[in-house]
Structure 1
Amino acid sequence: MTELMLKYFRDKQQNAQSEKVYDTQCPYCSMQCKMQLIEQKIVSRKQYKTIGKDNPTSQGRLCVKGMNAHQHALHNDRLKQPLMRINDELVPVSWETALRTIKNKFQQIQHEYGKDAISVYGSASITNEEAYLLGKFARVALQTKYIDYNGRLCMASAATGANMTFGLDRGFTFGLNEIPNTRVMILAGTNIAECQPTIMPYFEKAKENGAYIIAVDPRETSTTKLADLHLQLKPGSDIALANGLLKIMIEKGLIDDAFIADRTEHFDLVKDYILSLNFEEIINETGISMEELYQTALVFANEPSGMIFTARGIEQQINGTETVMAFLNLLLATGKIGKPYSGYGAITGQGNGQGAREHGQKADQLPGYRSIENKADRNYIAEVWGIREKDLPKKGVSAYEMFEHINKDKIKSMFIMCSNPVISNPNTNFVKKALEKVSFLVVADLFLSETAQLADIVLPSTSYLEDEGTFTNLEGRVLLREASFPIQGKAKHDWQILCEIAKVLGKEKYFNYDSAESIFEELRVASRGGKADYYGITYDRLRRENGVLWPCPSEETPGTIRLFETKFAHEGGKARMAVVKIDTIKRKPAISSNYPLYLTTGRVMSHYLTGEQTRKSPSLAARNVEAYMEIHPDTAQKFGIELNKLVKVTSEKGWIIVRSQFSESIRKDTIFIPFHWAENQNVNRLVGEQLDPYCRMPGFKMSVATISPFHH
């Protein structure tokens, strides 16, 4: 064999396939499926694929989003270095220049207008460590009271409803593995088949085992197709439905008197109100027949075990908190909580929707689900942080209200981390104007999102492949996301960005961390003794046990799988039932001759939130290229709308242009538009600014609109 041939075979061997495996976790929904990225080097080209990894939650399953997540993380559009606005153009600068500018601007603004002139807008897609640090950053480095986050638009009403009823908010009050053995379940306003596909096998198994499934949704979806009974009610009438079901249960003697007496308060008040209602009004409000109401009430009450799941459909309403509480009344009245195969499941939306709301990103909250208004909680956290209690700011306002405060000149600057509020908030035209008005806007993100395009400084952050940390999934299981992929360009982890800004502001001693784990060690102590107690959880334990469910007060105790077995978290140990009046439905927008249709919004399987990540993934973008309007063919005919043609949809707040899709299965008085698109396809432009009085949730699921054919 000649030397040349030997060299050829040697080179071929060296260039042959070599493989690297990176352990990670899906960045999308609250299932937080474990997965691995396989990098194959073939000759000089790299190619990637993602495979599922066995774990207690999703057992190795992945959905189409998880399988293609790496496409956005490896996309050429990733931000690789800081950008700064010079002559109205964003140009690359060094980290040193970006940090120096942030320091000068922040100090100047606070000197001129006071500490609270700067606000912080966080995210439910960042790690627990980063969520914790962001709260500390706002209150210690900036000393501002204005911090809130995008989870306010997602989980706020479920969290507030659970806190008011049970005294504690954790996504599921039971473990996922209990679902297959329950006898009956109500799925209220949740489309899990598209939003959390890898959870579906639990529900399919329950059905195989004979569980009776009731779905509550104005639309027919992939999820309602699984149900034995689909209650296709008028949008926003869920309180009337829950109260009607409770009325039947009380009148027919189907309630658990012993449980109510031992474990709850205020039932007598609830009973008096419920019995004063008449079925005619309930049928009229909901559009659900008496027969369907009876069927639902009898099955749910008579089975020995049962679960109620809620999601954005009933929660993203201006009476979302009360709607959740009305459904929780059904669980308590029938004693279906704190025992096997029973309980409440708030199906969390964002990847860290649970953990991100436990450790201090919310306006009124400190780590461990403590209250910023409570003196003992303030003293405890001040001591952990090494500051004086009197230097800890009081509570601020909710996410959307911060933009109103900008408009009123109370807030002059905003720091946004891993969020795209220009697309995700209600009344987005107003939000965009507010962000254009601030004197200094800093955004940390993976991409130049619609929000980042308005910034004065954009900081490049790392993706799920690069950024290690913990997440808390929908059942309250804390998971460690391993991340060892090489960092892209000059991007930094979100926690590093916060530490570096704190350092230039002279607050380095409070932000002296060298890893995500060192932050988690402080979070453990900060959460100790709080409602969301992580003290017994360590990185070693998470690696060993593949996740631990909180509360977990010591390293010797296992996590808590089932909540409320003997007592609820309120003082006195009882759950609080609530009188939820049907009148609250009157707060919602009503259809009229000007706006004759209900408009509701939601997700499609291949996209996530504002689409900033999934629209960068060719395999996902190709599945849903543009927004669309789902409409009943009879309604379309009435408005002169043709199939697959452009339609102008108008509300009091604005207009958008989308393509029509016909569906025989949607209510004739309702149209549906998904919310993953921007600009003239952003349905949130049409949503009003009215907020839930308890949790400040906007009413995304319940607007009124009119439609007309769009002619170029």
Structure 2
Amino acid sequence: MTELMLKYFRSKQQEVQKEEVYDSQCPFCSMQCKMQLIEQTVVSRKTYKTIGKDNPTTGGRLCIKGNNAHQHALSSERVKHPLMKVDGEFVPVSWREALERIRQEFTSIQQEDGLDALSVYGSASVTNEEAYLLGKFARVALRTRHIDYNGRLCMASAATGANQSFGMDRGFTNSLDEIPYTRTIILAGTNIAECQPTILPYFEEAKDNGAYIIAVDPRETATTEMADLHLKNKPGSDVALVNGLLKIIIEERLTDETFIKERVHGFEEVKESLASFDLEECAQITGVSKEQLYQAAVIFGQEATGMIFTARGIEQQTDGTAAVRGYINILLATGNIGRPYSGYGAITGQGNGQGAREHGQKADQLPGYRSIENKADREYIAGIWGVSEEDLPGKGVSAYEMVERIDEGTITGMFLMCSNPLISQPNANFVEKALKKLKFLVVADMFVSETAKLADMILPASSYLEDQGTMTNVEGRVTLREAKRPLPGEVRNDWQIICDMAEVLGKGKYFPYRSAEEIFEELRIASRGGKADYYGITYQKLRENSGVLWPCPDESHKGTQRLFESSFAHLDGKAEMAVISHVPEVPKETPTDEFPLFLTTGRVMSQYLTGEQTRRSASLAARDFESFVEIHPDTAKKYQLKDRALVRVQSKRGSVVVRSRCSDKIRKDTVFVPFHWTQTQNVNQLVANDLDPACRMPGLKLTAVNISPAQD
């Protein structure tokens, strides 16, 4: 072939093939894996491929959800224009018409029902900039106290427990890099192998290095298979279990007396409270033998270093805060905190579960993890925002309590961004009934979710490929999510939607931003001096370092790898141990003759949260296209249930119909149903509305149920 012919064919190839590469981060779990989407155009056909990108947290690893994340972002079902409900049907309208309608309705509601009649329901999936703006929008543009977010269902127990014990909460007190070198690990209520797969290599490396791993879970999972010891406790018995472990550690003289004396308050009170706690009773309550309790406690207490990680299994309980504090008690009693290869980690569920709660969309917080009830904090933030401190509203209520306020008629309007409470909240039938009472509901989302179907107005939100901003991952590392793919249709960035609404409400001068980076520059200043101090972080620094661990108080600071090395965040520098009772303040449901089994819930690897995004991915939906109930074969036989048959799972509040999966990996007194599905498979319809008194977390992980064959 002549050189002329080669040039001809090369030119033809260039005419018909084009490649675009978009840098981004996975939109799902808190690992926030870096990735690139490669979009190739051959003639008129586009093909897509996702590859991992090297980064300090996951080194380029991706799980199945990350590999297929682009499928929902490119879905034909995306909302690409504002939709207004007219005579019960959604019709496309212009942005001008949509914003004018919002102005009219929101103004009318506040004139008729008061400022606090409007509410904002945020998300732990939005960027830090958007979480910051939602808090500012509620308190400056709407001047309402009613703002909270779906992270209340995720990290509230861990955050409250860490704040009470340490004086601050960063999720992980150490960086992920320390995990492989610790000597012993407790994984309490976490199935990282399915929920955060790309974190698993850290624990596998620790095991290879000789670490002893203890897993606490009512089920055998891919995570417990990795463990050296599995404590297969009864659902809801976590506080009794952790008190039993600590009692043994104390009685076997495995505590660090020097550390306790120099750095801890409350040890003697805790020791005294446990003196009368009977280990036989502990074994009966938890279903874990005394021998296993001793094995776990002695091994953890004897080793030179140890780390404890908690997640939703123990946290989504009405005593979740107490359970977290119980595990922190063990770390404080053994001195396993503030030094290398020893510490606490709350394994965040949502992508920005950490950052979303630090900068103001939580009911009681202002940016930088400041308190909305502290006058100095209020004055500082008011000065940044250019408003009077007296004009800032006070503390609101939790996400579920906002739903209760709607039902009572106290809240009559809502702006909801990137969340689906009709599926994620407990007592889902009540949630639906309440939301239907709203005079006006505005939802910003990528899809017409179950909650969005109830809206009066849907605003088209942007995807992870289009919406630039910072996210704070599981270890407290602030990362910059690049997102340069063009916005489809009339979609706007989420931060722009907030600014547009503020503008039409007459508060545009407080929201003059032209980019996500401009918002971050204000966030930096607003967080300065707070517990979550981002002041030393810039977009340039994030690009140069692939992320920075906060606190980072100035631009010369490299970020904080390990917390509490010399002091804790309480005023006197000491940590607080807590006396916790295994008898919860809010009674839990227990099995009865009518409802004889424990129901617990969780995730599967291919799905995420309410499934609104992952079910739009053909590759992910094909792996788990329906919900299921995991049940022990002996239990199935007792209730005359066949494997792979339809089963009715019923509680006091309702029932769902799901397909059975018989497995001897679950306790005989327990069934498990994942929470990613909707309608007749929405397991949260069965869950009570009881809340943790300390953090207002719903008790999603424990419900008394019965099971029976589903009738045709």
- TM class by shorter chain equals over 0.9
| Structural mapping, 1:120-519, within 5 Å | 120-519=120-519
CA-to-aligned-CA distance 1:294-328 (integer Å, 9 cap, x gap): 11011000100000000000000000000100111
1:79 aligns with 2:70: no
Q: Distance in 1 between matches of 2:587 and 2:458?
A: 39
- Which residue does the alignment assign to 1:603? 603
Instruction: State the secondary structure of the residue aligned to 1:348.
Output: coil
Q: Distance in 2 between matches of 1:48 and 1:488?
A: 17
Q: Distance in 2 between matches of 1:420 and 1:247?
A: 42
Contact 1:589–1:702 under 8 Å retained in 2: yes
Contact 1:422–1:432 under 8 Å retained in 2: yes
- Which residue does the alignment assign to 2:523? 523
Amino acid corresponding to residue 415 of structure 2 in structure 1: F
Q: Distance in 1 between matches of 2:541 and 2:417?
A: 29
Q: Distance in 1 between matches of 2:7 and 2:144?
A: 66
Which has the larger displacement, 10-19 or 573-582? Answer: 10-19
- Which residue does the alignment assign to 1:99? 99
> CA shift at 1:584, angstroms?
1.4
Q: Distance in 2 between matches of 1:599 and 1:308?
A: 25
> CA shift at 1:128, angstroms?
0.1
Q: Distance in 1 between matches of 2:307 and 2:386?
A: 44
Amino acid corresponding to residue 295 of structure 2 in structure 1: Q
Q: Distance in 1 between matches of 2:93 and 2:685?
A: 33
> CA shift at 1:18, angstroms?
2.2
Unaligned runs of 5+ in 1: none
Q: Distance in 1 between matches of 2:121 and 2:430?
A: 16
TM-score, normalised with respect to structure 1: 0.99
> CA shift at 1:20, angstroms?
1.2
Contact 2:442–2:455 under 8 Å retained in 1: yes
Contact 1:239–1:585 under 8 Å retained in 2: no
| Residues 1:12 and 1:70: Cα distance change in structure 2 (over 3 Å) | same
Please provide the CA RMSD for this pair. Answer: 1.2
CA-to-aligned-CA distance 1:658-696 (integer Å, 9 cap, x gap): 000001110000000000000000000000000000000
| Residues 1:212 and 1:341: Cα distance change in structure 2 (over 3 Å) | same
Instruction: State the secondary structure of the residue aligned to 1:584.
Output: coil
> CA shift at 1:586, angstroms?
7.3
Structure 1 segments of 4+ aligned residues over 6 angstroms from their partners: 5-8
- Which residue does the alignment assign to 2:21? 21
Contact 1:237–1:585 under 8 Å retained in 2: no
| Residues 1:610 and 1:18: Cα distance change in structure 2 (over 3 Å) | same
Q: Distance in 2 between matches of 1:503 and 1:173?
A: 40
Q: Distance in 2 between matches of 1:60 and 1:365?
A: 34
Q: Distance in 2 between matches of 1:390 and 1:143?
A: 11
Amino acid corresponding to residue 36 of structure 1 in structure 2: Q
Instruction: State the secondary structure of the residue aligned to 1:479.
Output: strand
| Residues 1:586 and 1:482: Cα distance change in structure 2 (over 3 Å) | closer
TM-score, normalised with respect to structure 2: 0.99
CA-to-aligned-CA distance 1:534-586 (integer Å, 9 cap, x gap): 00000000000110000000001110010000000011000000000111187
Unaligned runs of 5+ in 2: none
> CA shift at 1:8, angstroms?
9.1
Which has the larger displacement, 225-234 or 39-48? Answer: 39-48
- Which residue does the alignment assign to 2:30? 30
1:574 aligns with 2:574: yes
- Which residue does the alignment assign to 2:633? 633
Amino acid corresponding to residue 594 of structure 1 in structure 2: E
Amino acid corresponding to residue 461 of structure 1 in structure 2: A
Q: How many equivalent residue pairs? A: 709
| Residues 1:585 and 1:629: Cα distance change in structure 2 (over 3 Å) | farther
Contact 1:236–1:585 under 8 Å retained in 2: no
CA-to-aligned-CA distance 1:263-312 (integer Å, 9 cap, x gap): 10011110000111111110110111111011101100010000000000
- Which residue does the alignment assign to 2:592? 592
Instruction: State the secondary structure of the residue aligned to 2:696.
Output: coil
CA-to-aligned-CA distance 1:185-210 (integer Å, 9 cap, x gap): 00000000000000000000000000
Amino acid corresponding to residue 496 of structure 1 in structure 2: Q
Amino acid corresponding to residue 433 of structure 1 in structure 2: K
Amino acid corresponding to residue 52 of structure 1 in structure 2: G
Q: Distance in 2 between matches of 1:97 and 1:462?
A: 20
1:113 aligns with 2:113: yes
Q: Distance in 2 between matches of 1:400 and 1:15?
A: 56
Q: Distance in 2 between matches of 1:234 and 1:7?
A: 71
Contact 1:23–1:35 under 8 Å retained in 2: yes
Contact 2:318–2:586 under 8 Å retained in 1: no
Q: Distance in 2 between matches of 1:408 and 1:675?
A: 27
| Residues 1:567 and 1:321: Cα distance change in structure 2 (over 3 Å) | same
Q: Distance in 1 between matches of 2:10 and 2:161?
A: 67
> CA shift at 1:598, angstroms?
0.1
Instruction: State the secondary structure of the residue aligned to 1:467.
Output: coil
Amino acid corresponding to residue 597 of structure 1 in structure 2: L
